[in-house]
Structure 1
């Protein structure tokens, strides 16, 4: 059968007196999924606000903040992990791994990330909580839309926005803490000594939080975020997304009418068309209309519907996390089938494990130094009066550690005399901490020929050796 995925969700919103759709004003709801969302909100906010103040001893000359993105020195620190600019491949690998995990999650449960852990969802939930505490639940807030401004109403608006701004500036300030020493910046802010740069970025991040969580809300999830648009390519009918069991709920009738029909032995759907599933939706859609790419899979409509079914003494699960294929099986009167483990999820899981293993191995095998070799191009070689041939190279040694390193430089793969311009024969090269050293090197062959040459730099202290392959040219 043909399946239409609804994108336009404005028709399900409450109407104002003028007939125009009002902003989405979600109603509070209680239930197991709402409790899970509160737990995730508390956990994620605690991690976000606390992590910048955790300490991690990395020894002398290194910052002791556990998580720090140090732009000044080109470092990213995350506890025992230290990422350098030369480790861009690791960052790329982490992004690819995160994308693969997101696709795997989508294949299992749809937009679970969006509904439970996305920063937009978390901070919007927090802002909504403040709004409810100050202005009341949905019914009262809808009454306030377009109502006459009174002193009490003005006080509520002022208190709400003051609380939102406090949260926004706390959020913006904490984000800046990840880029500098958090306790030092807190002290500077407390004494009015913070730099203009820090204050500017705090203002930018605070304004973004205030605007997106306070006003944009569902518009971000529906129109600004690219993830809903990708659902057309990766939507999986076997994924356990929020769906309405229409074969059980239709035809919709009021509870009283349904009871009368059932008393006469006639059938009636379980849905009483109370509209609570729409009222609690933070996006403002009606899940009963079918799968909707705007749905963030938060499950609040599941809690709302289960509460109504419990009061009416009807089975829960009229709206539930269910695969679309099972919805169609239910329509045909067939038994439901759970297919979380299937070729797609197995392949995605294997891909995630392989990517994670490759990143771990790459991180374990990396060294604290790097070497590059550049062959002189003009001229490529010089023939000396005794018939030997000399090639010149520029060798650059990079020390990514926080302490000086000493290297000895040699060549392998050919019988040649190596000379380091400006250095004693057989001497070591000292590379400063978090710095580099550029060397001018010549190789002279008495019996010249075109061949590969391997430059090898070994740490005097016995660490890992660096090697780069180049070419000796006899022309």
Structure 2
């Protein structure tokens, strides 16, 4: 037994900094292109303009929380149309399942924001401090003027990138030029400053210092992706039947692997792919580029490390040819994901083109359900909420239809049955429908009633002289309550 003064061993392992070496190759070039495209889209999109008329914002992509709307070029999404956003999220999830089922953690390795910004931060670090060996020496070196200068330059550039990242994000939620003006003149709303500070700090810490720890410990996807993969999923693997036993190039009886550690030195996660598939591997392909470069130098065939599936491993160990890439990708599981993804996408497009520019609802007044007038007529009241989704003010006409008529109708506060609704606003009005005494509607407890709204355009119908295109007309069913017997 240990004495009471003996401290138990610590189970905490300090982080070992990772200094990836620069590498050239097809996968590295692909990552550069994806990083340039994704960052370009992210930073430029808030500054794109789109003319929607004088009463609407001209920012092409805008999440207008104040007015509860989302603008995406010619598309405008209202709060009650949140199913479009839900559909896009479902498509994103199915797309993630599809790519993971076919190519493993390809999202993590190429397009995940954590990966993209970490790549950018490492690029800056390499530019300021040098490649792998120089950065290791600087890390181990005692603090002096040179180390302080390089760290200050690196951290300053990181901070500028992080601030641009947080700034670009908040530009999506308000007019970008105006917000930039307010920020530069210290007139921005406190919410903007708080959001900018939080996003700048998280980007600076996650991309500069946490890096692989976010992928390993904070992100849930490495644990979920195991359920998305099977024996036909293409992922990065080491062909140990060809590379082992390791040894020097000209040593008899050794495999193709010369244990140069190139695949380890370029890995941004700091793992050795030769130890097998691991949770930390993001399948970025940099180890493939490094190994292929080394195979070229020692005049050995490429592919010691590459994308392969478990079924390929079994076949290649037996000396057979690997299965075609397309057979791995086009299989029942991935085709099912593709079909589901396409179905949701087509459904959203159809719903987008079929949606009405008029949105209204009818709420019958329940207390009382009807009123008996002095002449014996029965009157029902309804609250109408009419939303004009056009970019300019429109006139709308209210009417009703039923098998049991006739009815008299009136809008509270309006001279007739026509009302004007401002652009992109909702107007509430009370509608009175009266059935004459002794009519079928007045003497029947409940009859179906359909209330119609017709779009008259930007002028009331009586003032229109030129031929008009077909007007939109929508209806909602409700009930008319009569006295009965």
Please indicate, yes or no, whether the TM-score normalized by the shorter chain is above 0.5.
yes
Whether 1:290 aligns to 2:276 is yes
Residue 353 to residue 114, structure 1, CA distance change in 2 (3 Å): same
Alignment of 1:109-120 (within 5 A): 109-120=103-114
Contact 2:62 2:174 in 1 (8 A): yes
Match of 1:53 in 2: 47
CA distance in structure 1 between the aligned counterparts of 2:245 and 2:369, rounded to whole angstroms: 85
Which one of the candidate residues 451, 454, 458 is aligned to 2:454?
458
CA distance in structure 2 between the aligned counterparts of 1:248 and 1:361, rounded to whole angstroms: 53
CA distance in structure 2 between the aligned counterparts of 1:96 and 1:269, rounded to whole angstroms: 47
Whether 1:376 aligns to 2:372 is no
Match of 1:197 in 2: 191
Residue 294 to residue 380, structure 1, CA distance change in 2 (3 Å): farther
CA distance in structure 1 between the aligned counterparts of 2:152 and 2:242, rounded to whole angstroms: 46
CA distance in structure 1 between the aligned counterparts of 2:158 and 2:271, rounded to whole angstroms: 26
Give per-residue Cα distances to partners, 1:81-101, cap 9 Å, x unaligned.
Answer: 222222201111111111112
SS of match in other structure, 1:145: helix
Contact 2:105 2:225 in 1 (8 A): no
Whether 1:367 aligns to 2:373 is no
CA distance in structure 1 between the aligned counterparts of 2:455 and 2:117, rounded to whole angstroms: 50
Structure with the bigger RCO (C-alpha within 8 Å, sep 6+) is 1
CA distance in structure 1 between the aligned counterparts of 2:420 and 2:290, rounded to whole angstroms: 69
Which one of the candidate residues 443, 446, 464 is aligned to 2:433?
443
Equivalenced residues, count: 449
Which one of the candidate residues 220, 230, 243 is aligned to 1:249?
243
Match of 2:116 in 1: 122
Which sections of structure 1, spanning at least 5 residues, go unmatched? 1-18, 262-266
Whether 1:227 aligns to 2:235 is no
Contact 2:55 2:423 in 1 (8 A): no
Match of 2:466 in 1: none
Cα shift at 1:145: 3.1
Cα shift at 1:214: 0.8
Match of 1:15 in 2: none
RMSD: 2.2
Could you tell me the TM-score, scaled by structure 1's length? 0.89
Could you tell me the TM-score, scaled by structure 2's length? 0.87
Which sections of structure 2, spanning at least 5 residues, go unmatched? 1-12, 458-469
Contact 1:410 1:418 in 2 (8 A): no
Contact 2:412 2:431 in 1 (8 A): no
CA distance in structure 1 between the aligned counterparts of 2:206 and 2:241, rounded to whole angstroms: 38
CA distance in structure 2 between the aligned counterparts of 1:21 and 1:215, rounded to whole angstroms: 10
Give per-residue Cα distances to partners, 1:417-457, cap 9 Å, x unaligned.
Answer: 24334256753021222222222223344212433222111
CA distance in structure 2 between the aligned counterparts of 1:253 and 1:413, rounded to whole angstroms: 90
Cα shift at 1:161: 0.5
CA distance in structure 2 between the aligned counterparts of 1:424 and 1:299, rounded to whole angstroms: 69
Cα shift at 1:391: 3.2
CA distance in structure 1 between the aligned counterparts of 2:198 and 2:414, rounded to whole angstroms: 55
Match of 1:154 in 2: 148
